[in-house]
Chain A
Amino acid sequence: MSAPLLEARSVSIRFGGLKALSAFSLTISRGDLKGLIGPNGAGKTTAFNVLTGVYEPTEGEVLVGGERVNGKRPFQINRLGVARTFQNIRLFKQLTALDNVRIAVLPETRRWFDAARVQALKRGGAAQRALGAALDATDNYRDWWRAFLRTPGFLREEAQVTARAEELLSVMGLSHRKDELASSLPYGEQRRLEMARALGTRPKVLLLDEPAAGMNTREKADLMVLIRALRDRFDVGILVIEHDMKLVMGICEHLTVLDHGETIASGDPAVVRKDAKVIEAYLGEAPAHVA
């Protein structure tokens, strides 16, 4: 079996004296639909932030497609195929729905200089580094000049970007909103727009941070169906954070439960549900603590 698309190997994160996450392990493979649950402040979002490069692990390592990504910047990890949504919705509010998705879609520009070669140069001696930087800059600014001159190649790429973004909007049922500002969309649509945007980056793994937050039961049920459909349609592995346990039980094939940064249970939802520690964390039935 090939390496999992995304893997955390006993990752720990410490903020000063606080251990926000300890020995967190997880793998996501193609077609997975896994859940990450736990009460408020359990470290779920911290786990997402580590996986996407917002925080660097204090211990352990994160691998994307078998490649160690500790210390890589979020945009680099995104380009390797990991996309996410945010718990508190971070759309580009003053831009249209279409632009929100278009930003995520990378135009397929061919570079003059081979990226791997330039990177190799940048690791060399001073002269080589300078050359590498110059080649890189040449390519970067060439891109801008293509945009300034609107070359046929540039226009073709932009048309592809737009077509792709429109396709994603239509998959998420947002076509009718494409020219509206993201901030003017109703809450549920904003959540869907965030997913469309994440899918725009052509991820292999999709991380959804409380996609159902603030929705009513009916909307939540629809959303769960949609998430499953997305997995099948885009052939991605999905990890969902959700705090409502009942809900994730319904769709996730695997659950990891966090509490105070510790993984207290992990495995099949049916088994996890009956785990004593999980019940304790959720219901607070902890006579030992109370006493």
Chain B
Amino acid sequence: MKSFLPVLAALTVLAVLQLVLGSSEYFVYLASLVGVNVVLAVSLNVINGMTGQFSIGHAGFMAVGAYVAGTTSLLLKDDQLSFLPPAMSDQLFLLLALLLGGAAAGAFGFLVGLPSLRLRGDYLAIVTLGFGEIIRVVIQNSDGLSKSLAALPGLAPVGRFVGQFGGALGVSGVPQRSTFFMVWFWVFVLVLLARRLSDSSHGRWLKAIREDEVAAEAMGVDTTSYKVRAFVVSSFFAGIAGGLFAHFVPIINPGSFTFVKSMEVVVMIVAGGLGSTTGAIVAAVFLTLLPEGLRSLFLKLGGGDASLAQKVDQVRMPIYGMLLVVIMLTRSQGLFGTHEAWDLWARRKRAGAKA
């Protein structure tokens, strides 16, 4: 029972925040963006940080989740569970769409995980990068794909589904059902899971693979199976993040899931410290809010002139780059190394018990 206490506490806090701040559109949008990035960073950290497999195609999984969840919601937009209040029914449908998106992304994670059995380091990175780009390009050309699929026997419904992707134009009109509560509920769930994973035999086996694959194998760790599992779990959550994203931005198009997006997530976890969930969270929050902060700063500098503020998006990546260089020079392990905030807490408690 004790393990459910943090869940209850967090749900209460989130519900209160939702009630107090849920009506401020800007806050909800920003908080959602932060939340999605936190989910992406924490989930990528499972592959790159814990398992030590360098994957740089996370935007691809996010895209799969976004398109599958978004299209599902779009198609089911007018359906209601009549026995529930509309808002609640909407949230249930959202949950369903998210889970579908997550599952689809997880399936793709399995596919990408397979080459990871044979590839290491740079080679794996190139494959995952390529995968992310393939997903994006396929979606960009989804019209042709949907026609081809529709022509195949038995795949007509899949073809129709893909037909909704809208090619380079993207999907618009996805019901904006995401709420602050929903996004941060997933953030909380994922962070809790990442923490519990890290502190279990399964997490230790992932870390063993990171530390020394040969030794891990010699100690009875099925390294191939565990690498694939890391990919599946991680991409499932990237899919959830994508699904959430699809439900609070007005339009999703392939441009949202480029290589730049993947790199953004990589920068977050490297800056935060590979292998540290705390680091991933802190860096994701900071790097998401940074452009917003810069935007208001530029707006002030420009004396209310919006054109200067718009340039922020163009200088964002150089700033990330410089930031990363500075972090790597001063703290090559990233902000947190492999440490976790809760480990410090536990250590203090232990020290207190001894004294």
Contacts and interface: CB of A to CB of B under 8 A. Distances in A.
Interface string A115-154: 0000000000000000000000000110110011110001
B229 to A, nearest CB: 7
A95 B207 contact: yes
A184 interface: no
A103 B221 contact: yes
Interface residues of A, number: 39
Given A74-B217, A147-B201, A148-B197, A103 B208 contact: yes
The residue among B193, B205, B217 with the most chain A CB atoms within 10 A of its own CB is B217
A154 B200 contact: yes
A107 B217 CA distance: 16
Interface stretch (A84-92, A238-246, A264-272): A84-92
B200 A147 contact: yes
Given A74-B217, A103-B219, A201-B220, A91 B204 contact: no
A150 B217 contact: no
Nearest to B214: A90
B233 interface: yes
A91 B192 CA distance: 28
The residue among B204, B205, B207, B219 with the most chain A CB atoms within 10 A of its own CB is B219
Nearest to B206: A103
A161 B215 contact: no
A54 interface: yes
A68 interface: no
Interface in A183-205: 197-198, 200-201
Nearest to B337: A94
A104 interface: yes
A114 to B, nearest CB: 18
A107 B201 contact: yes
A254 B174 CA distance: 75
Interface in B236-273: none
Interface in B266-309: none
Q: Is the interface of A mostly helix, strand, loop or mixed?
A: helix
B3 interface: yes
A17 B66 CA distance: 54
Contacts of B215: 86, 90-92
A157 B200 CA distance: 10
A107 B205 CA distance: 12
The residue among A91, A92, A105 with the most chain B CB atoms within 10 A of its own CB is A92
Contact of B212 (A52, A75, A90): A90
Contacts of B229: 140-141, 144
B299 to A, nearest CB: 43
Nearest to B275: A94
Interface in A52-109: 52, 54, 73-75, 78-79, 83-84, 86, 90-95, 99, 102-107
Interface string B176-220: 000000000000000011001100111111011001101111111
A148 B219 contact: no
A78 B222 CA distance: 10
Contacts of B128: none
A83 B193 CA distance: 32
Given A74-B217, A154-B200, A158-B201, A92 B223 contact: no
A91 B218 CA distance: 11
Contacts of B214: 54, 74, 86, 90
A103 B204 contact: yes
Given A52-B218, A83-B218, A147-B200, A91 B225 contact: no
B172 interface: no
Given A52-B218, A75-B222, A92 B208 contact: yes
Contact of A144 (B192, B202, B216): B202
Contacts of B192: 148
B80 interface: no
Given A78-B218, A144-B229, A200-B219, A92 B197 contact: no
A147 to B, nearest CB: 4
Interface string B310-348: 000000000000000000000000000010000000000
Nearest to A198: B219
Given A54-B214, A95-B211, A140-B225, A83 B197 contact: no
Contacts of A74: 214, 217-218
Contact of A150 (B196, B204, B338): B196
Contact of A78 (B204, B219, B233): B219
Contact of B204 (A102, A141, A198): A102
Contacts of B217: 73-75, 78
B171 to A, nearest CB: 30
Nearest to A73: B217
Contacts of A104: 219-220
The residue among A84, A143, A147 with the most chain B CB atoms within 10 A of its own CB is A147
Contacts of B222: 73, 75
29 contacts: A52-B218, A54-B218, A73-B222, A79-B220, A86-B214, A90-B214, A91-B211, A91-B215, A93-B211, A95-B207, A95-B208, A102-B204, A103-B201, A103-B204, A103-B208, A103-B216, A103-B219, A103-B221, A140-B229, A144-B202, A144-B229, A147-B197, A147-B200, A147-B201, A147-B202, A147-B203, A148-B192, A148-B197, A198-B219
Interface of A: 52, 54, 73-75, 78-79, 83-84, 86, 90-95, 99, 102-107, 140-141, 143-144, 147-150, 154, 157-158, 161, 197-198, 200-201
Q: Which 3 residue pairs are nearest across A and B when measured between Cβ atoms?
A: A92-B211, A147-B200, A90-B215
